Amino acid sequence: MPVPDSTPSDLRPRRRPDDRRRSRRTTAAVIGAASVLAVAAVVGTVVVNGSGSDSPANAADTKDWSEVAPTAGATETPAPLPEGDTGALGQEVSTTVGLDEVATFPGSIQARIVSVTPTSTDGGRVGELSGDAVDVRLELVNVTGEAVAVDSVAVNVFYGADRTPATPADSDAVIRGSLEPGASATGDYVFSVPAASADAISVVVARDAGSPVVVFQ
């Protein structure tokens, strides 16, 4: 018998309903697995690129800039003035002591710096600068056996390694009058000084005009 060119539709093998459902489930599983792998790849890329610990740019940001940048406010402290020096201040230096020490004018009074406090001035008076300043509180003690006039006591401030003269501001609390034996007096002296140099000042105290000065620094 001759073989027909095509198989009639009623003679072809038919898929059972179970076979169709199994095929659809297999296809869905394959698509689902591919989707999971794609999402995992995207998440992995985001995690790797977003990690701060492995990123070269972030590694550079962690550089210790304190090694290359100067410390804010750092100012070179002036070297101590030798006794008898007249070049730096224009007056003979009797003695040089620390800011927290006591200096004695020969045969006269003792002086000490009670405090140096950062402050500011508003430039409200003639010749007064506005801006950063320091308030130097000075104490004088009469260690002699007789009254000592202190009206002529003068205070000046220099700042920085070059000993730049600080501009004084008017103060109503300076020392005036005289001191009886054993008595003391305290006065405030304000000077315009940049905030960065407030910790690098020299305070020069003169007993009177022409007398050797004492330097606190």
Instruction: Say which residues have a Cβ less than 8 Å from residue 142's Cβ, sequence separation at least 6.
Output: 109, 148, 179, 180, 181, 182, 183, 184
Are the CB atoms for 96 and 80 separated by under 8 Å? Answer: yes
Establish if 75 belongs to a structural domain. no
| 155 shares its domain with 65 | no
| 124 shares its domain with 163 | yes
| 33 shares its domain with 130 | no
Establish if 65 belongs to a structural domain. yes
Sheet holding 164-165, edge to edge: 93-97, 213-216, 201-206, 154-159, 164-165
| 34 shares its domain with 134 | no
Establish if 25 belongs to a structural domain. yes
| 64 shares its domain with 103 | no
Per-residue pLDDT of the chain (217 residues; tens, 9 = 90+): 454 454 444 445 454 544 455 445 544 444 444 444 444 444 444 444 444 444 433 333 333 333 333 344 444 555 555 555 555 566 788 899 999 999 999 878 999 999 999 998 876 666 667 799 999 999 999 999 999 999 999 999 999 988 899 999 988 899 999 999 999 999 999 999 999 998 899 999 999 888 889 999 9
Establish if 147 belongs to a structural domain. yes
| 136 shares its domain with 53 | no
The range of the structural domain enclosing residue 142 comes to 93-216
| 51 shares its domain with 102 | no
Are the CB atoms for 160 and 75 separated by under 8 Å? Answer: yes
The domain spanning residue 179 has which CATH number?
Answer: 2.60.40.1240
| 140 shares its domain with 179 | yes
| 212 shares its domain with 113 | yes
Establish if 3 belongs to a structural domain. no
| pTM of structure | 0.60
Instruction: Report the length, in residues, of the chain.
Output: 217
Establish if 9 belongs to a structural domain. no
Establish if 7 belongs to a structural domain. no
Q: Per the structure, how many domains does the chain have?
A: 2
Terminal alpha carbon distance of the chain: 128
| 56 shares its domain with 160 | no
Establish if 38 belongs to a structural domain. yes
| 158 shares its domain with 199 | yes
Q: Please state, in angstroms and rounded to a whole number, the distance separating the CA atoms of residues 25 and 18.
A: 11
CB atoms within 10 A of CB 67: 6
